[in-house]
Amino acid sequence: MPDYRVLNAGDTAIVVEFGESIDRRLSTWVLALARRLDEARLDGIVETVPTFRSLLVHYDPLILSTASLAARIAELMQGLQVTEQGGRLWRLPACYDPCVGLDLDDVAARTGLSPAQVIERHSAVTYHVYMLGFLPGQAYMGDVPSELTLARRESPRLKIPAGSLAIASAMTCIFPMETPCGWHLIGRSPVALWERGPRPRALLAPGDQVIFAPVSLREYERLLAKAADGTLDIFPLDEAVEAAA
């Protein structure tokens, strides 16, 4: 059982904190507890929000007392396994052409690698989705290889386009919508992590795994056109296998 502490975040939320850093092991604890709590379907829990190192549990104390909630969490912690993770595996197309990866050359210069090496290193990793946050559907994925870890840009951009693939410290993100951003832009993905419309949805969930498949600028534009038509269907790899069978 991992070490943890429970902190009150007001009278209707508690933080179950496993540590203070970004750490794959802490994240798996967080996600395992989130899963157990969701499965326990306790009356009075409104929702849970996993983050890098903690789980925020929103609850209604008039239905579930703080003490009972803490006691249930202590029970659920017993025998918690880091392997209890039900994430899906995704392969997402990513275009690293300098036309869309505006900082690719700069990242190469800062890391002492060639642009081709930056692309090769970034796309060689199977990333873990630590959490979603900042914007609807925005997944924080890690860990970026240590050779590519850079602090944020000194001057953030006021606007980056939707789909921008970027890195900062040990994290990589596809930004689901236009936003100000201080991250280093190394490419773009045609995949909408956040689908607008009457039934909006987030593609990725905490605990998922992601591989980036490099595509040419031309292929990116073709996929982007399909995405605009609503015909770019992206499935998790296991489901894609089933769909093809």
Closer by beta carbon to other proteins, 87 or else 98: 87
Give the containing element (helix H, strand E) for 54: strand 54-59
Largest CA distance in the chain: 59
Residue 20 CB, nearest approach to other proteins (Å)? 6
Residue 189 CB, nearest approach to other proteins (Å)? 17
The dihedral through the CA atoms of 143, 137, 177, 188 has a sign that is: positive
Classify residue 65 by its DSSP letter.
-
Residues in the site for other proteins, rule: CB under 8 A? 7-13, 15, 17, 20-22, 34, 46-56, 58, 60-63, 66, 131-138, 177, 196, 198-200, 202, 205-206
Closer by beta carbon to other proteins, 11 or else 242: 11
Closer by beta carbon to other proteins, 117 or else 149: 149
Residue 108 CB, nearest approach to other proteins (Å)? 27
User: Which residue type is seen at 195?
Assistant: E
Q: End-to-end CA distance of the chain: give it in Å, rounded.
A: 40
Closer by beta carbon to other proteins, 36 or else 53: 53
The dihedral through the CA atoms of 131, 133, 137, 141 has a sign that is: negative
Residue 11 CB, nearest approach to other proteins (Å)? 4
